[in-house]
Chain A
Amino acid sequence: MTDGMNAGNDKENNIKKKKENSNSLNKGISTGKKKYNIISKNFLYRQGIRLVLLLYSLLVTNASVGATIFFVSKRMAEASQKEVNEGNMNVLNQAGSLFDIYLRDVMKLSNTIYYNVFKNSNENVDIHNMLNLLYDSYRGKIENIAIFSLDGNLMYAAPAARMKTGYDVKDQEWFTNTFKDTENNHFSLPHLQQIFESGDYRYKWVVSMSRIIELTRDGKSEQAVLLIDMKYDELVGNLSDISFGSKGYVYMIDNKGEVIWHPKMGLLYSGRLFEYNAEAAQCSDGVNKYKDKSGRILYVKTIGYTGWRIAGVGYSVESIFNSPYTGPFISVIIFAEFFAITLIYTFMFDKISDPISRLQEAVQTIEEGNFNQKVPVGGVYEIESLGKAVENMRIRINQLIEDKRIENQKRVEAEEMRVQAEFDVLQAQINPHFLYNTLSIVIWLIEAGKTEDAKKVVTAVGNFFRIFLSTDRKFIPVSEEIDYVKNYILIQQMRFKDKFVYEFDIDENVNQMSTLKLILQPIVENSIYHGMEYMDDEDGRILIKAYIKDDKVYFSVKDNGAGMTKERIAEIMSADMTRVSKPRGSGIGFKNVRNRILKQYGSEGGVEVISEPDEGTEIIIYFPAEIYTKKDVEA
């Protein structure tokens, strides 16, 4: 019963713990990171060793692999970026070289015109014809060649052209620039060449190269301005074919950052596209990274003679995952690897955790009290050793329990034998004395001619000993116990020559109940010996009652004898047998009865004494009401 209560308490404690865990989880969610750790800890705690191992292993493996991939990809991206940068700069340098060659060609043309047509030629040379020949040679690259006098009049033009009215070349930037440094060639920004009449109403974007030249006219040497308009489309044409990756592009600016050419010129002009051209003007030649977060890389190459700059825009290689060549492949591999590793770990940890789980289940069964459950032994070496140790422990505990059980059984048997021996001793004590007295009474009755009374006594003695000597039974029906007492009291009344009267008050229902044998007779005997000892004839009264109350059988023996003091009551109720005065009469005393009842019924049975000096004594015996059955006969 106590074990049952403990088990109940354990369950309650578990429920409380779970509630506490649950509360702590809720608190954890609401209060922060520290609580979150509790959640994860409790969560993992509940999932078992396999999942815990799997999660931690996956975490560590993936973190390691992820970190490796991250660093390797970063390194590879840097290496790729370096190669891309070198490649882009090579392309830019080539574009710059082409541009440079274009300008050199035009400068060569300029020199040819200056030295071969004008400076070193005589007046007989057909200048128009020579200019036309040169124009034809360069017509793929240039729009026109023109010579202007310093006051802005058109002197020569190839192809032949007429100036528009209302235009003054002295207002043109290319014209005024020539006077800033008369020795050099000057290159204008791209502009619309509008000074010449055009029959087809086409407009021409050109880059003008101009310089001061000296020529001889009418025998006089004079200065003039040579203008060579380069075809803008041809000049920048190769730039439109350059692209840096799928998104990169190239554009051109002057030394102040003004955009000369851009693949999306129209959008730039309409303000729908923004370009970092001002920043590009500040950058040095080579690779420059923008300071914004767009990841754009600016490649800059400055063109000789003009100071213009070709700016290439590329995008940094952030990761190998961004590459269309490697990205999808690596992603698929990582994805598949993850599942493969998870699968392998699952089987691996199954192998480790299965024996542990089986061991844990076996230990749990043993913990619940089933010591016959064999402990499975298997798995890796440590688990196998643990299983063997637990199995040995189980066998040892089983052995100890069996030993203890046998020892207890022996102890109980010994105790029963001791009680039986004591009982036998007590019984043996009363037999001779009681028999002697009774026989004396019988002799006396016969001598007095009271043969009927003698017959009664002998009959009573016979009945008395029939029950008394029935040692094979521990329990008898209440009716037999009452009959036994009636026989006894009849004998005693003959013996004490009607010194007392007695009365039985027996409830009919109580007769069929089971009772320990010989528990009422010693009490009645005590009443006769101790209660009637100092009484006069027929003054003594003994009332014997048997009844059922609250599922218990009650025997009550009440006399009107000398009674007892409280000290005496305490003495006879004491557990210490040595403190009890040796009884007189039959020798089967109050203590014997009380001990037998307590041993048999525990707290359910007992003996009570109600007594006052000179007022008499009532002894009450009670025990559980159980109907006398065959089982009691066997007992």
Chain B
Amino acid sequence: MDKKINSRTVNNANNKMFVVMAMYFTLLALFLIMSMTNFFVRDEDTDTVCRMTVIICEGEDEYYTRFKKGVEKAAEDERIDVNFSSIYKDSGLEQLKSLIIKESDLGADIIMVPGIDCAELLNLSNTSGKKIPVVMPDSVYDEGGGYVGVNYRSAIDSLVERIKESQDTSVPVYIIPGKNYIKKLCDILKEDLERAGFNVVFKQDEADENFYSSFFDTECSRWYQPPAVIALSRSGFTEMAYMASMKETENLRLYGIGTTTYILNKMEQDYVLGIVTWNEYDEGYVAVNNSYKAIFSKDKKGLKIEDKTIPSYFIDKDILKSGKYTKMLYPIN
């Protein structure tokens, strides 16, 4: 009886072994077949991780050439789908808000608005009630907008110092903010100039096509010494540089914020005396990286982008010719 049980147990074990071995060789055969296919080939992860919309005022694209290059490079590195959108140049804040909400509704994860510093935009929500991350790269550091900011302080100090060297305090300093300007920057400038003893006069160019021409005719020629004029917006700065070159006047000392090739050319021709500028390529790159990092809590290894501020520089003709900032001002494609 015992012998029968034992032999039955052994037979069962043999049967199990046979089944297991059969399964094993089936598995090997399966692997052999699969090795001839691409079943287990891991595809490179090329999907975009988020969508970003950059809103630039219509007609101001040329002012943001460098910035856009930085944005595009960062988007390429981070696999971000960037879409550049424009808004009519005479649109107000409400239209801008509507556009931001619309872009968010269309699926944009981040909205970037260069050249704007408006705290109201930080509290926008889309139609589904989700808070919209709005990035304002040109905003002054620590003044809302977040993710990146330009530290204007040192460049503004240099600008005021230069004006002080070349102009009596009895002659006013004109500030032309332009349509879109950074209010905080304007406040810093005004404060510094007034501390230096200058009388600061604001001249707004809104809704007056002949503003720049009449400004030259009426304001610049009335002083015994050419007054300093500081244009805060890129469009205003370009307009002022153009008027200065057209009128061939020596009745003003033109300074401004922001750079274009045209303005640099006018600086070479001595129509522009000084520019406050910064590495806009870097600004675009860092703005995208920091906003992506802040919103998705991910870090791009190998790059030093923990610094949220972008330094600014004061550049005059001598500095321009020295070539120190050539790669920044004329970035290689």
A-side residues, CB < 8 A to B, are 164, 166, 190, 192, 194, 198, 201-203, 205, 232-233, 246, 261, 264-267, 269-273, 324-325, 327-329, 332-333, 336, 340, 343-344, 347-348, 350-351, 354-355, 374, 376-379
B contacts with A: majority SS: helix
Given A192-B326, A266-B282, A267-B73, are A340 and B332 neighbors across the interface (CB < 8 Å)?
no
A203 near B268: Cβ-Cβ < 8 Å: no
15 A/B residue pairs, CB under 8 Å, sorted by A = A164-B268, A203-B261, A264-B73, A265-B331, A270-B285, A272-B304, A329-B39, A336-B31, A343-B23, A347-B13, A347-B16, A347-B17, A351-B14, A376-B6, A378-B10
Known A192-B326, A354-B9, A378-B6; contact A266-B281, beta-carbon cutoff 8 A: yes
Pairwise interchain contact A269-B328, C-beta atoms closer than 8 A = yes
Residues from chain B with a CB closer than 8 A to the CB of A190 are 332
Complex CA gap A324/B41 in Å reads: 6
Contact B9 A329 (CB under 8 A): no
Q: Is the CB of B31 within 8 A of A333?
A: yes
Known: A351-B17, A374-B2. A266 touches B40 (CB 8 A): no
**A residues within 8 A CB of B214?**
none
Question: Do the beta carbons of A343 and B20 come within 8 Å of each other?
Answer: yes
Is B302 among interface residues, defined by CB-CB distance under 8 A?
A: yes
How long is the Cα–Cα vector from A261 to B9 in the complex, in angstroms? 77
Assess whether B295 is interfacial by the CB under 8 Å rule. no
Minimum-distance CB pairs A-B, first 4 = A378-B6, A329-B40, A270-B282, A324-B42
Kindly state whether residue B7 has any CB partner on chain A within 8 Å: yes
Q: Which of B171-195 contact A (CB under 8 A)?
A: none
Chain B residues 8 to 28 lying within 8 A of chain A, measured CB to CB, are 9-10, 13-14, 16-17, 20-21, 23-24, 27
* Partner among B21, B40, B260, B279 whose Cβ is within 8 Å of the Cβ of A344: B21
Interface presence of B165 (CB below 8 A): no
Interface residue ranges, B against A (CB under 8 Å) = 2-3, 5-7, 9-10, 13-14, 16-17, 20-21, 23-24, 27, 31, 34-35, 39-44, 69-70, 73, 260-262, 265, 268, 279, 281-282, 285-286, 302-305, 323, 326-328, 330-333
User: Is the beta-carbon distance between A336 and B73 smaller than 8 angstroms?
Assistant: no
> Hey, which chain A residues are within 8 Å of B69, CB to CB?
266
- What residues of A have a CB within 8 angstroms of the CB of B23 in the complex? 340, 343
Specify the chain A residue showing the minimal Cβ separation from B35.
A329
CA gap between A273 and B27 in the complex, in Å: 49
Q: In the complex, what residues of A have CB within 8 A of residue B260's CB? A: 201
CB–CB A267/B285 < 8 A: yes
B9 contacts A269, C-beta separation under 8 Å: no
- Output the least CB separation between A307 and chain B (Å): 21
A508 to chain B, nearest CB (A): 64
Contact, CB under 8 Å: B285 / A205: no
Question: Measured between C-beta atoms, what is the minimum distance from B38 to chain A in Å?
Answer: 8
Chain A residue at smallest Cβ distance from B25: A340
Q: Which of the residues A246, A265, A377 comes within 8 Å of B44, measured between beta carbons?
A: A246
In the complex formed, the residue of B with least CB distance to A200 is B261
Docked Cα-Cα span, A203 to B259, in Å, equals 13
Closest A residue to B311 by CB, please name it. A270
Q: Which residues of A contact B5 (CB under 8 A)?
A: 376
Chain A residues with Cβ below 8 Å from B3 are 377-378
B31 touches A271 (CB 8 A): no
Check A340 against B282 for contact (C-beta < 8 Å): no
Q: Which residues of A contact B326 (CB under 8 A)?
A: 192
CB distance from B189 to the nearest CB of A (A): 25
Q: Which of B2, B7, B305 contacts A272 (CB 8 A)?
A: B305
B14 contact set on A, CB distance < 8 A: 351
Is the CB–CB distance between B17 and A233 below 8 Å?
no
CB neighbours of A376 from chain B (8 A):
2, 5-6
Given contacts A329-B34, A336-B27, 10 further A-B contacts (CB under 8 A): A233-B333, A266-B69, A272-B282, A272-B305, A324-B41, A332-B40, A340-B27, A344-B24, A354-B9, A355-B6
Residues of A within 8 A of B44 (CB): 246, 324
Q: How far is the CB of A234 from chain B (nearest CB, A)?
A: 11
A332 and B279 CA atoms in complex are apart in Å by: 49
Kindly identify which residue among A272, A332, A344, A355 contacts B20, using a CB–CB cutoff of 8 Å: A344
Nearest-CB residue, chain A, relative to B41: A325
> Which B residues are CB-close (under 8 A) to A355?
6
Nearest CB in chain A: distance from B245 CB, A: 12
A270 touching B279 in the complex, CB below 8 Å, given contacts A347-B16, A348-B17, A354-B9: yes
Contact of A350 among B13, B268, B285 (CB under 8 A): B13
Contact A272 B9 (CB under 8 A): no
The complex places the Cα of A625 from the Cα of B27 at a distance, in Å, of: 82
Tell me the smallest distance from the CB of B326 to a CB of chain A, in Å.
6
Question: Contacts of A205 on B, CB cut-off 8 Å?
Answer: 330, 332-333
User: Could you tell me the distance between the alpha carbons of A76 and B157 in the complex, rounded to whole angstroms?
Assistant: 62
User: Contact: B285 with A201, CB < 8 Å?
Assistant: no
Taken together as a complex, chains A and B put the C-alpha atoms of A265 and B279 apart, in Å, by: 13
Choose among B20, B281, B332 the residue that contacts A270 (Cβ–Cβ < 8 A): B281
Q: What separation, in Å, do the CA atoms of A377 and B261 have in the docked complex?
A: 99
Among candidates A194, A327, A348, A377, residue contacting B6 with C-beta atoms closer than 8 Å: A377
User: Does B41 contact A328, Cβ atoms closer than 8 Å?
Assistant: yes
Q: Given the complex, which residues of B lie within 8 Å of A273, measured CB to CB?
A: 302-303
With CB as the reference atom, state the residue of chain B lying closest to A166.
B268
| Min distance, Cβ A539 to any Cβ of chain B, angstroms | 83
Closest A-chain residue to B305, C-beta based?
Answer: A272
Q: Which of B6, B17, B34, B73 contacts A266 (CB 8 A)?
A: B73
Q: A261 to B332, alpha carbons, bound, how many Å?
A: 9
Name the residue of chain A whose CB is nearest to the CB of B62. Answer: A201
A374-B9 Cα distance, complex, nearest whole Å:
17
Of B21, B23, B39, B42, which is in contact with the most chain A CB atoms at under 10 Å from its CB? B42
A201 to B17, CA, bound (A): 84
Across the interface, which residues of B come within 8 angstroms of A379, CB to CB? 10
